[in-house]
């Protein structure tokens, strides 16, 4: 493993107070208190925060084609997202934004350039905040690019879901741990029953772990919001990270990073026993 202790990812709805239709500043405050160099933070939220901000200012939601609405919300929310990370992260650390697209990870030279940038950050006392560059990537064009890439290479990274972005980055930098923070405590055997939280998906070897991930995926259904992949997608991307020796933790954003990392809060941990 390299010098990256943690790649973390937080979902859009974990950054929102749904009942108030507003940003959850407490979440940003808790994260900012614990983020430090050696961590890479993948943050969703630009689209949802942009939507909240637009409605506040204009009293209604945007109408039009889904892809255009998503682009417009994301472009509006991106600066607000970064403003809050900079506000709450310790001022002695630099904060750097990295906007990525699928093409960056499907191109060896671009992927290596991103890896070098991320590995320089701990040495320079900086924390990178990563997000998918929604405003410049629309579905029709993206699908054409991915189809062409798959014809020549057999597989491709898509990264529209930031769970995948985080897993790809964890693999790229050989991170020790990957933490996926969401609005629930982890993976459930019965999504309707919080008492069925699966605390450990493990096995004596990699083959057993991957088989148990497949079993857990059978219990997953639904997603927290439009454009999200849901629990099943989280497990699919977790499997990619686990294959490369990274421990994966899926937990609730209401807990502190340290609580989830130190197994002091309910969560789902995935890896070889």
Return the structure tokens found at 219.
């219990």
Residue 215, token pair as written in the block: 């079993």
Instruction: With beta carbons less than 8 A apart as the criterion, state whether 49 and 79 touch.
Output: no
Q: In this structure, what token pair is assigned to residue 265?
A: 């809060």
The SS3 call for residue 3 is coil
User: What 3-state class would DSSP assign to 251?
Assistant: strand
State which CATH number among 3.60.21.10, 3.40.47.10, 3.40.190.10, 3.40.1160.10 fits the domain covering 6-270: 3.40.1160.10
Q: How far apart are CA 118 and CA 114, in angstroms?
A: 6
Per-residue pLDDT of the chain (273 residues; tens, 9 = 90+): 458 999 999 999 999 998 999 999 999 999 999 999 999 999 999 999 999 999 999 999 999 998 899 899 999 999 999 999 999 999 999 999 999 886 777 788 999 999 999 999 999 999 999 998 777 665 554 555 545 555 566 565 655 578 889 999 999 999 999 999 998 999 999 988 999 999 999 999 999 999 999 999 887 764 444 434 578 888 988 998 999 999 999 999 999 999 999 999 999 999 999
User: 11 is written with which tokens?
Assistant: 């979902």
């Amino acid at each position: 493993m390299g010098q990256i202790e943690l790649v973390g990812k937080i979902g859009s709805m974990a950054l929102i107070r749904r009942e108030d239709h507003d940003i959850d500043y407490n979440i940003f405050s808790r994260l900012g208190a614990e983020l430090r160099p050696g961590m890479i933070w993948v943050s969703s939220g630009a689209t949802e925060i942009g939507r909240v901000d637009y409605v506040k200012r204009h009293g209604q939601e945007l109408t039009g084609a889904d892809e255009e609405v998503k682009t417009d919300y994301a472009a509006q929310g991106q600066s607000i997202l970064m403003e809050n990370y900079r506000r709450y992260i310790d001022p002695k650390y630099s904060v750097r934004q990295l906007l990525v697209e699928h093409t960056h990870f499907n191109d060896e030279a671009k992927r290596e350039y991103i890896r070098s940038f991320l590995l320089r950050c701990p040495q320079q006392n900086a924390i990178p905040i990563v997000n998918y560059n929604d405003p410049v990537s629309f579905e029709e064009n993206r699908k054409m690019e991915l189809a062409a890439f798959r014809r020549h290479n057999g597989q491709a990274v898509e990264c529209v879901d930031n769970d995948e972005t985080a897993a790809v980055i964890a693999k790229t930098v050989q991170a020790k741990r990957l933490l996926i923070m969401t609005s629930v405590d982890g993976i459930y055997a019965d999504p309707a029953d919080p008492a069925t939280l699966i605390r450990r998906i493990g096995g004596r070897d990699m083959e057993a772990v991957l088989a148990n991930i497949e079993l857990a995926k059978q219990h997953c259904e639904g997603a927290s919001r439009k454009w999200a992949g849901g629990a099943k997608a989280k497990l699919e991307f977790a499997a990619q990270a686990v294959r490369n020796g990274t421990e994966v933790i899926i937990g609730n954003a209401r807990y502190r990073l340290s609580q989830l990392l130190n197994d002091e809060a309910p969560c789902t941990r995935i890896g070889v026993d």
